[in-house]
Amino acid sequence: MQRSIFVCRIFIEMTEPMDRRNFLKKASSFALLTAGAATGVSRVFAHAPLSGTKGETDKVGDKLQPNEKMEYRRLGKLDVSAIGLGCLPMVGYYGGKYDKREMIALIRRAYDKGVTFFDTAEVYGPHTSEEWVGEAVAPFRDKIRIGTKFGFGVEEGKPTTLNSRPDHIRRAVDGSLKRLRTDHIDLYQVHNPSMEQLDTVIGEGGALEALLEAKAAGKIGHIGLTAHSTAVFERALNLDWVETIMFPYNIVENQGDGLIRKCQEKNVGFIAMKPLAGGAIENGTLALRYVCSNPAVTVVIPGMAEVSELEENIKACSDAAPLTEAELAEIEQIRHQLGTNFCRRCNYCAPCTVGISIPSAFLFAGYLERYNLADWAKDRYGSMAVKASACVGCGKCETRCPYHLPIREMLKKVAEEFGE
C-alpha cells in the first residue's frame, strides 16, 4: 500500500513543472517502482581538508570551521568548499514552484554536509534567492562565504536591463546586504558584462569606482566577474582588481580550458558554472566528475533545489577516481549528441517580442528528440501560451544570446517538430 501511494505521488509530481534532470530522475523512479526494483547506497566524502584551510581568517568574516570530510580550496583569497550551492533553480527559474521552508532547509543541509560557498544574485527572483539565502545562513553566517552579483537594473525595476552606473551599484550593494541579512558580502561579482559594458565598468565614473568604495568601507570583501564569452574572460584575467572569474565549464563547453589554466597560474579563483550545460546533460554524476577532475577548477556550483540532488552532487564531486574508459566513451557520445547549438537556459534572450518562452520551447523539443518522452513533451508544449510558430523573426533574442545561437532558425525547427 505504501509503495502504491509513493508511486502515485511521483506520478502527480511528474505533472508539475520541473527541470529536466528532476523529471528524468522521477520518471526513472516511477519506472523502477512499477517494475518492483530497489536502489540506494550513498557514500561519504573521503577527502580531508586541504592543508592550511582550517582556522584561516580572511579580512572579512571570522574563522571557517570546515567539515573534516569536505575538500576545501582557495578561491582567490577566500577559503571555500570544492562544491558550492547554486541558488538560482530554487526560486523556480527553470520552472516549478518551491517551498521557501524547504529551500531554507536545503541550504542548511548543504552547510551540515560541509558546503561553505553559496552563489546567488540580486536578479534571481528577482531578490527572492538573496532573501532565502540570507535567512537560511543567518545562524552560521560567519562560517560560510556568500557570492552574489550585480549589473542589472533590479533596484530600478528593470531586471532585464543592464546597469553598471556607480549610483546604481551603491543602491545594489545596500539592497543585497539587507536581503542577505549581513554587514558584508564576501564576493561581489560583475554579472556577465559584454566587452562594451566592461568598458563602462572600468571607465571614468564607472562601476569600479563604487566597487572600490564599497570594498574600502568593508561592505564587500572581494570582487569578481562572471562571463559567457571567452573574450570577456580573457580580458578579465588582465584586470588586477578581478579576484575570481565564473564561466561555463562542462563536458560540451570546454572552450575556456586554456583560460582556466591561466587563472590557476595567476592565483585567480575559478568558479565553474553550468556543469550540466543548463540541464542539457542527463548524467549529472558524470558531468560533475568531469568538471571536478580538472585541478584548475576551484569550485563548481551546480544549481540545486532538492536534498536528493545535493546528496548526489556531493557524492559525485567526492569521487576522485580517474574517469573510466566507459565514462570517457559516454563523454564523447554526449559531445556528439549535443554539439554546441543547444540552449543553456540562461534566459538572456528574454524578453521575446511576442512572448515566447524560448528556453521552454527548446526544453520540450529536447524531451521530444532525446529522452523518449514524446507524449509528455507534446502535452507540455501544447500548454504554452505562445508557441514557437509565433516567432516574427525580429532577431532581438539573438543579439542578447551570449552563445550566439541561431534562435530564429531553432524556433522554426521546434515548430516543425511539433507539427505546427
* Catalytic-residue membership of 381: no
What average pLDDT does the segment 400-412 reach? 93
Asked if the model's pLDDT at residue 13 lies above 60, the reply is no
pLDDT at position 316 is 96
| Residue 375 to residue 197: CA distance in whole angstroms | 44
What average pLDDT does the segment 255-277 reach? 96
- CA angle centred on 52, ends 189 and 134, rounded to 5°: 35
**Residues 6 or more apart whose Cβ sits within 8 Å of residue 181:** 134, 135, 138, 141
- Which of the residue ranges 123-137, 184-198, 363-377 would you say has the lowest mean pLDDT? 363-377
Helix or strand run (H / E) with residue 147? strand 145-150
pLDDT at position 62 is 39
- Which of the residue ranges 16-20, 28-32, 218-222, 263-267 would you say has the lowest mean pLDDT? 28-32
- Mean pLDDT of all residues belonging to the chain: 83
What average pLDDT does the segment 322-336 reach? 96
pLDDT at position 52 is 31
Catalytic residue among 124, 188, 290, 403: 124
Domains assigned to the chain: 1-41 (no CATH), 72-329 (3.20.20.100), 341-420 (no CATH)
Q: What is the pLDDT of residues 276-310, one digit of tens each?
A: 998 889 899 999 999 999 999 999 999 998 999 99
pLDDT at position 356 is 96
pLDDT at position 96 is 61
pLDDT at position 66 is 56
Higher pLDDT, 256 or 60: 256
- CA 20 from chain centre, in angstroms, equals 14
Share of the chain above pLDDT 70, in %: 80
pLDDT at position 45 is 32
pLDDT at position 73 is 94
What average pLDDT does the segment 335-339 reach? 90
For residue 180 the three cell numbers come to: 542577505
For residue 259 the three cell numbers come to: 583560460
| 416: exposed, middle or buried (Cβ count in 10 Å: 0-12, 13-18, 19+) | exposed
pLDDT-derived band at 51 (thresholds 50, 70, 90) equals very low
pLDDT-derived band at 346 (thresholds 50, 70, 90) equals confident
Supply the pTM of this predicted model.
Answer: 0.76
What average pLDDT does the segment 74-103 reach? 87
DSSP state for residue 348 in the 8-state scheme = T
Q: Which residue in 367, 257, 281, 366 sits closest to 330, CA to CA?
A: 281
- Dihedral of the alpha carbons of 193, 197, 199, 205, in degrees to the nearest 10: -110
What average pLDDT does the segment 4-22 reach? 40
